[in-house]
Amino acid sequence: MPLIGAVADDLTGATTTGVLLARSRARTAVFFNEEAAESAEDAAQLDAILVSSNSRPLPAGEAYEKVKSATQALQRMGVRYFTKRIDTTLRGGVGVEIDAMMDCIGNDVVAVVVPAMPQSRRILVGGFSVIDGVALIKTPVAQDVRTPVRENYIPRLLAGQTKRNVGLVKLDAVLAGTVCIKEELAKTRADGNEVIVVDAITLDDVEKIAKACVELEWNVLAVDPGAFTSKLAYCRGLIQQEEANIPEETGEDLNKTVLIAAGSATPVTKKQMEVLCEDPEVFRISIDPVRLIEGGDDAIDEVAIAVEKIVGYLDAEMLPKAILMETALHGELLDLSEEDAKRGYADGMSADRINSGLGRITSLVLEEAGREKVAGLYTTGGDTMVNVCFQLGVKCLEVIDYVIPQTDVCRLLGNYEGLPIVGKGGLTGTEQSGVEIVKRLFREAARQVG
């Protein structure tokens, strides 16, 4: 029976938390929705279950119901310890989703919010979120197309979203150690705060916070991007020390191709793809996003053109190392909100159609060229990963490891069983991350062959 259960607002968030547990020897799976989790045959054999509510861009009421439903499903499955997995940049209706889980879990529950992800250089100081040395609202996420973040002080951000009182335990208490953290947590809760934000800048800080919560014997809802959940599980004796899970074989001798579906349009992703495409063995397919947005025959034709090109490359005796499918890394970047407005679409429909097109292309290429020619799949952006897996008929991923934090290695379960897939957030990584991900997928492909 799974002891640890988490609800994430998107798929890549679920894998980011799940992989930390998997690296600590917990058998962990990520499900695309609660129905898939409850119907899974081997779910009782898992140590941890993570469910994506796909709620980040939804209106508050809809997000609440989605998260509530997912939490109730985890309760029916016997989960004892709960996590509300949040984005490292606090996108979406975090406070509303905290309320949804707390309303299900019980009157004695307290939400401990630790937004820090030191592995990815995400920290919290004085309640202010800092991303790789830059204030949160000064990063590209502040202008995110669907879920912009305009508030840098996290207690104030949450107070505007939750019906509960929000408190803060500052860094000076955290640096003073576990005893002081316990005292400040208890005092903050006694002051009437049911949601408590805690500063942290290092993994050691996060572990001290986790230890304090365990020693207080509180019924804690962990609210975090993954590090706090992992440290809580470790302090409770549920998991082991975290270790990498890297295959020995490089896979360099495999005549296979990595298929890349680049749905993210961030400057970080664009640079990563530019560096990757400097390799002459990486081929680039530019897909017209406007035709995918229009739908109908335009979208069908654009998908068919891309599939024909890619299958042609895969018919060669020597296959390319990777094939990049992209819609937003060349030419002028579309304002997807404007595209929705001028067509009378619901918010987010243009983005959904683009990602669905990338997923459809991937699915048709695998059908026509054959799985044996593909080393693995590489997706950028959570919505892209969801759409690729949906088009493949996949509802569950087994998490294995990460290339770098927030760039997670998984295997497909069900259709295309065992096929490796890496999902990377749009703001994550260095210029070389794309190159490293392709290399890692060849290692995973070699593991499958072995």
User: pLDDT by residue (tens digit) across 112-141?
Assistant: 999 999 998 999 999 999 999 999 999 887
Q: Determine, yes or no, domain membership for 244.
A: no
Residue whose structure tokens are 């996108």: 91
Q: How confident is residue 267, by pLDDT bands cut at 50, 70 and 90?
A: confident
Neighbour tally for 236: CB within 10 Å: 16
* pLDDT at residue 100 greater than cutoff 70: yes
Query: Are residues 148 and 142 in contact, defined by beta-carbon separation less than 8 angstroms?
Result: yes
CATH code, domain with 167: 3.40.50.10840
> What is the span of the domain harbouring residue 80?
4-235
- Residue-level pLDDT at 186: 98
216 and 302 co-located in one domain = no
291 and 195 co-located in one domain = no
| Cα–Cα dist 78/62, whole Å | 25
Q: What single DSSP character describes residue 167?
A: E
CA dihedral over 374, 379, 383, 385, signed as positive or negative: positive
Average pLDDT over residues 325-350: 86
Q: How confident is residue 37, by pLDDT bands cut at 50, 70 and 90?
A: very high
Q: Determine, yes or no, domain membership for 242.
A: no
- Residue-level pLDDT at 450: 60
DSSP, collapsed to helix, strand or coil, labels residue 345 as coil
DSSP, collapsed to helix, strand or coil, labels residue 258 as strand
| Cα–Cα dist 392/195, whole Å | 39
Query: Are residues 329 and 265 in contact, defined by beta-carbon separation less than 8 angstroms?
Result: yes
Write the pLDDT tens digit of every residue in 48-75: 999 999 999 899 999 999 999 999 999 9
Residues in the chain: 450
189 and 319 co-located in one domain = no
* pLDDT at residue 330 greater than cutoff 80: no
* Phi, psi of 336, deg, nearest 5: -70, -25
Share of the chain above pLDDT 70, in %: 99
Query: What mean pLDDT, rounded, does the chain reach?
Result: 94
* Phi, psi of 443, deg, nearest 5: -60, -45
Kind and range of the H or E run holding 185: helix 178-190
* Start-to-end CA span in the chain (Å): 31
Residue 206, amino acid: V
141 and 195 co-located in one domain = yes
- Residue-level pLDDT at 331: 67
* pLDDT at residue 425 greater than cutoff 80: no
136 and 201 co-located in one domain = yes
185 and 321 co-located in one domain = no
88 and 192 co-located in one domain = yes
Q: Judging by beta carbons within 10 Å of its beta carbon (0-12, 13-18, 19+), is residue 253 exposed, middle or buried?
A: exposed
Average pLDDT over residues 85-89: 94
DSSP E strand stretches across 11-165? 28-31, 48-52, 81-85, 109-113, 122-125, 128-131, 134-135
pTM: 0.87
Q: Determine, yes or no, domain membership for 403.
A: yes
Q: Determine, yes or no, domain membership for 246.
A: no
72 and 169 co-located in one domain = yes
Alpha carbon 392 to its chain's center: 19
Alpha carbon 322 to its chain's center: 23
200 and 51 co-located in one domain = yes
Give the chain's domain count. 2
Query: Are residues 407 and 424 in contact, defined by beta-carbon separation less than 8 angstroms?
Result: yes
| Cα–Cα dist 401/378, whole Å | 14
Residue 395, amino acid: K
* pLDDT at residue 146 greater than cutoff 80: no
208 and 332 co-located in one domain = no
| Cα–Cα dist 314/240, whole Å | 42
